[in-house]
Structure 1
Amino acid sequence: MPKAYVFTRYGGPETEALIEVDRPRPGPGEVLIAVRAAGVNPVDWKQRTGYRRPGETDTRDFPAFFGNEVSGVVEELGEGVADFAVGEAVFGRPVVGGYSEYALLSVDLIARKPAGLSFADAATLPVAAVTAYDGIRQLDLPAGATLLVTGAGGGVGVAAVQIARAFGLKVVGVASEGKRDFLESLGAVHVASGPGWVERARAAAPDGVYDLVGGEVLAEAATLLDDRTRLITAGAPAEVVERLGGARVTRFRTSERLDAVARLVVDGALDPQVTRTFPLERAGEALRTVEEGHTRGKIVIEVAG
């Protein structure tokens, strides 16, 4: 039987386990893939604690799969699927599966993997890179404008910095001092996080802010803008940022968005910055690396070669 890394109830790491599961069967409009790689994101461990995305109301069944972005090879087609074929390399957001040997994907949330895109890099795109892309498009700043990104050293931040640069923006990245060289290598002006960061950033006179941290950092970042409609967040609930005059990032979970970020990678404008990989048997270690909050770039679980 295939293996999957799951959580058996809401709680902490003690709820996690690598178990054997039944091989999923694709329903109408779905494909089954043999997973090659899975991206690791903060939302994964947050869901283990009981977190739900805005609008989610369904009761979760246990054991519940970890993982919100995967790449792999099509193994089986569900009823009505005509645009994909068995043996094609694809990536997307799983309906079932994630940190697992097999996953189900909806044809609405899947795209073909270009030949120039590795499975590991493809597995980082559906959540982090698409979130970054959606936010940059939502701000719609003109070329030459200055964008400030808080939490710039994480998975979404690293993508946001590069995508903004590809769109002709100047970028100021707020992150720890230890990530200075890393962010500067991506073309961003680094501002050290921590006490006093907002005064250090004020000299850059940002035209827009993309917040990935929330809390006090979001509130402080809002003071940098005269026009609060140029304030967006993926790090705080909508009601919090709306009180500050800004908005939460509007997500477009579509195949077209997946294609767009994949093209950026193939064209050399976006490097997913996969900094560490772990085998499925060490999925818990991969998740702890992200949960501790000190990662640089993206962590990926490699399920098969």
Structure 2
Amino acid sequence: MRAVAVQTFGAPDGMAMVDVPAPEPGPGQVTIAVEAIGVGGVDAMIRRGTLSGYGFGSGHILGSEVAGTVTAVGVDVEPSWIGERVWAFTGTGGGYAEQAVAAVDHLERIPAGLTNETAVALGSSGAVAHFALQHAHFAPGESVLIRGAAGSIGLLAVQLARTASAIAVTTSSPDRGRRLRELGATHVLDRSGTGDGPATYDVILDVIAGPDLPSFLPKLSPNGRLVVLGAVAGPLPAGLTDQLMQSFQKSLSLATFSLDTIPVPARALVRRDQFAAAARGELDAVVHDVLGLDEAAKAHEQMDAGQVFGRIVLKP
């Protein structure tokens, strides 16, 4: 089968189309004929070689979420899965391919009225946004600032935080600001955090991290919580502890969040509810563009250039 693998870590042109054996389902797994692939920020971090602690080698196939039809099951999996249209989490790779395997516990049936493309734009990002707000102890009526709101996680966080007294977003253009207001944002700031929003916020969700993160700590209200969901601009800089101590009387909190800490059944329940809401038109998972699998490098170039609003989807 065809798949896209990282031959050289770094720039997007280090990815290449390769021919590899089709995967066979092991115990507790299914094989999926892939029809849509979500392109996420973690894919870009793996491709760049900046995601530490995993030791990916040359030939690694990117992609953590796919949608398609189950074609085979492992010996201990119910045969009734065969023929089902599903969303699946494939782990740290294996999704940029014509076929993929996934654990049966990481499948979700896609309801009628929801496209495969929407499923992979929503499946992981919606759950991250939901549980990140929960991790931040967000309560209705509080104010929220979302840094990196034009990505798939940020877009869904805007919609899920609609009970906030104010939802501010950072973005790079007036057009993006307009589109974010349509989804529920009440204030639009530039990427430095300057704009028409409140002076401080109860919660800040940050998908960006990188060297500019410290400039957002003063934007927290007393008892404010900043939760880092991603690091597309690089790791957290040194000196954050000192800055928190300088604001000791404000009782600020800085935390990281990974969906890996949420039990799989809890993720599945939220994902099922969000899929149903999207099918009813109550939740908008924005698909930026649909490209062919052989255009994976183009998708990554657009992400690196900050040109994506929502999520790019690949189709084999």
When normalised by structure 1's length, the TM-score is 0.87
The corresponding residue for 2:70 is 74
Letter in 2 for 1:3: R
**5 Å matches for 1:138-217?**
138-165=135-162, 170-178=166-174, 179-195=176-192, 197-198=193-194, 200-203=196-199, 205-217=200-212
Q: SS of 2:126's equivalent?
A: helix
Structure 1 residue 66, shift from structure 2 partner: 1.5
The one of 277, 289, 305 equivalent to 2:302 is 289
The corresponding residue for 1:4 is 3
Structure 1 residue 240, shift from structure 2 partner: 6.5
The corresponding residue for 2:254 is 246
Q: SS of 2:188's equivalent?
A: strand
Q: Contact 1:133–1:261 at 8 Å: present in 2 too?
A: no
Structure 1 residue 202, shift from structure 2 partner: 3.5
Structure 1 residue 64, shift from structure 2 partner: 1.0
Letter in 2 for 1:30: Q
The corresponding residue for 1:20 is 19
Extract unaligned runs of 5+ from structure 2: 245-252
Q: Closer, same or farther in 2 for the Cα pair 1:38/1:81, shift >3 Å?
A: same
**5 Å matches for 1:39-50?**
39-50=38-49
Structure 1 residue 61, shift from structure 2 partner: 4.5
Letter in 1 for 2:219: L
Q: SS of 2:221's equivalent?
A: coil
Structure 1 residue 106, shift from structure 2 partner: 1.1
Which shifted more, 284-293 or 214-223? Answer: 214-223
The corresponding residue for 1:300 is 313
The one of 86, 90, 98 equivalent to 1:90 is 86
User: Partners of 2:75 and 2:196 in 1: how far apart?
Assistant: 57
Q: Closer, same or farther in 2 for the Cα pair 1:124/1:46, shift >3 Å?
A: same
Q: For the aligned residues, what is the CA RMSD? A: 2.4
Q: Closer, same or farther in 2 for the Cα pair 1:102/1:247, shift >3 Å?
A: same
User: Partners of 1:88 and 1:215 in 2: how far apart?
Assistant: 41
The one of 114, 122, 125 equivalent to 1:125 is 122
Structure 1 residue 253, shift from structure 2 partner: 6.5
Structure 1 residue 77, shift from structure 2 partner: 0.4
Q: Contact 2:12–2:300 at 8 Å: present in 1 too?
A: no
Q: SS of 2:301's equivalent?
A: helix
Extract unaligned runs of 5+ from structure 1: none
Q: Closer, same or farther in 2 for the Cα pair 1:174/1:14, shift >3 Å?
A: closer
Letter in 1 for 2:70: V
Letter in 2 for 1:271: D
User: Partners of 1:25 and 1:174 in 2: how far apart?
Assistant: 44
User: Partners of 2:182 and 2:239 in 1: how far apart?
Assistant: 30
Deviations 1:29-84 (A, max 9, x none): 1110000101111211210222336xx44x43541112111111101101211285
The one of 200, 217, 221 equivalent to 1:222 is 217
Q: SS of 1:123's equivalent?
A: helix
Structure 1 residue 235, shift from structure 2 partner: 3.0
When normalised by structure 2's length, the TM-score is 0.85
Q: SS of 1:226's equivalent?
A: strand
Q: Contact 2:36–2:313 at 8 Å: present in 1 too?
A: yes
The corresponding residue for 1:256 is 269
Q: Closer, same or farther in 2 for the Cα pair 1:240/1:102, shift >3 Å?
A: farther
Structure 1 residue 142, shift from structure 2 partner: 1.9
The corresponding residue for 1:115 is 112
User: Partners of 1:29 and 1:127 in 2: how far apart?
Assistant: 21
User: Partners of 1:181 and 1:75 in 2: how far apart?
Assistant: 42
Q: Closer, same or farther in 2 for the Cα pair 1:194/1:147, shift >3 Å?
A: closer
Structure 1 residue 107, shift from structure 2 partner: 1.7
Q: Contact 1:162–1:269 at 8 Å: present in 2 too?
A: no
Q: SS of 2:197's equivalent?
A: helix
Letter in 1 for 2:283: L
Structure 1 residue 7, shift from structure 2 partner: 0.9
Q: Contact 1:228–1:246 at 8 Å: present in 2 too?
A: no
Q: SS of 2:220's equivalent?
A: coil
Q: SS of 2:150's equivalent?
A: coil
Q: Contact 1:132–1:160 at 8 Å: present in 2 too?
A: yes
